[in-house]
Amino acid sequence: MISKSRILIALGNEIKKNSVSNFKKGDVSRMYLDYLNRKYNFDEWIKLSNINSYICEKNDIILIKPIISIFEKSGTLIKNILSYLNYADTKNICIIIPDFYRSVGTYKYKSYVKIHEKLGSDFYNILNSNIINNINSCNYLQLCLGINNLQKQEKKSTHFNFLEPIDEHEYKKFLKTFELADEYFNKKILNSHYITTNYIQFKKKYSAMEPQKHFKKDTSKRRYILDIYKHMYK
């Protein structure tokens, strides 16, 4: 059963008793899983001390909220979670993170996570490196939920931004974002019978390829089509 499941892991602020009602920007990933839990009537959240996380499931979907902060060796934690569940297929894992580089109300799915060398010791570079090194793969799905309020121009540390309170207007934006992200996840991922590739499926690299194309598993024309695009944009 586990081997066929989809696993969604939400990273963020440390989960505390008072964080249930006093949401901060760094809680947005856990808020998204709570949204899914309510919308689809998942089982109740159960605390598993073995992996220091809250977990619930329904059918072939498993939702996991690690208790510790995203700043505390998230890669090791995710490795332990997958080991505990005896799960090795990273392509069916979605790691959800608060993204300070994206504005509130926006989101982005990434099917392939890479390190941006130009950014050096950027927080997200360090986070992704830690995860990749621990699970020995960069082929997992990542959902980035924007938490940056562009109207506030103050430069603050990542820690400070994650602890910034969510106001009523931002909360409504987050709920709309959750709805859109869930719709995309269901249409493009859960119910997809197509091969997904980094630039064709998730990233709009060339205007000539919009709407983005899907390549069916048994098509013999895939290489021919790719060769055409390669010729057009070389």
- 10-residue block means of pLDDT along the chain (234 residues)? 78 79 90 94 93 92 94 91 90 92 91 69 85 89 90 70 92 94 79 38 36 42 46 47
Phi, psi dihedrals of residue 12, rounded to the nearest 5°: 175, -150
What confidence score (pLDDT) does residue 149 get? Answer: 83
What confidence score (pLDDT) does residue 89 get? Answer: 85
225 CB neighbour count, 10 Å cutoff: 13
> Measured between alpha carbons, how far is residue 215 from residues 47, 108, 187, 219 in Å?
41, 21, 16, 7
> Measured between alpha carbons, how far is residue 55 from residues 37, 46, 61, 73, 141 in Å?
10, 5, 11, 19, 19
What confidence score (pLDDT) does residue 17 get? Answer: 72
Kindly state the tokens that stand for 109. Answer: 């799915």
Place of tokens 């490795």: 79
Domains detected in the chain: 2-192 (3.40.50.1470), 194-234 (no CATH)
Q: What share of the chain is helix, strand, coil (3-state, %, to 5)?
A: 45, 20, 35
Q: What pTM, to 2 d.p., does this model score? A: 0.76
